[in-house]
Amino acid sequence: MALGLFNAGKRRRRRAAEALYGAAMAQSRRPELFRELEIPDTLDGRFDALVLHMVLLLRRLKREGETARELSQELFDLMFADMDRSLREMGVGDHSIGRRVKQMISAFYGRAQAYEEALDGGEDTLETALSRNVYRDIGIARDKLEDLAAHVRGLDGLLATQAGPALLAGHVSFEAPEEANARKH
């Protein structure tokens, strides 16, 4: 009986992680990120957009303490299993996939640390972290950089308002209610 409850909890956590990952992926693929904010519409740019949204989501889950630890790990594992699958679909050879995924994980951790510190008021500004990581110091226009930073701060604030139990169940919104309503009409 206890094993059945354990498996049910694990399945619930997996479904929640899949729902959260799907929402972060969908948000990171919104055309306006590439068209209006000028995130490069390249493999690297799409990776950076996903990392940015995953960091914000994992940052919010962290506030739920130990309860969210396993879900956060499941979410992280799901992301990199998807990265592995994507590399295979692009034809990257089996021998180099492990190395590429390790590089991506390292990049994720570096970006996560930079964004967290910047959002918490660290030495680096958020604009500096975004310029270095999302735009890869390509000389993006200052207003685009400021707009992306405002977008990130807005999402961070929006995620902070979402109920912990809903997040733990896999329910997240990356849109303010007025933005979601405007989209429907």
> Mind listing the pLDDT tens digit for each residue in 164-179?
999 999 999 998 655 6
Q: Which of the four pLDDT bands, split at 50, 70 and 90, describes residue 182?
A: low
pLDDT of residue 178: 55
Instruction: Indicate the domain borders of the chain.
Output: 2-174
Mean pLDDT of 98-106: 89
Three-state secondary-structure class, residue 176: coil
pLDDT at 45 exceeding the cut of 60: yes
pLDDT of residue 90: 82
pLDDT by residue (tens digit) across 53-94? 999 999 999 999 888 999 999 999 999 999 888 887 888 777
Per the prediction, the chain carries an average pLDDT of 88
Name the percent of the chain lying above pLDDT 90.
69
The torsion defined by the Cα of 152, 156, 161 and 166, in degrees rounded to 10, comes to: 100
pLDDT of residue 181: 45
Mean pLDDT of 128-144: 90
pLDDT at 95 exceeding the cut of 80: no
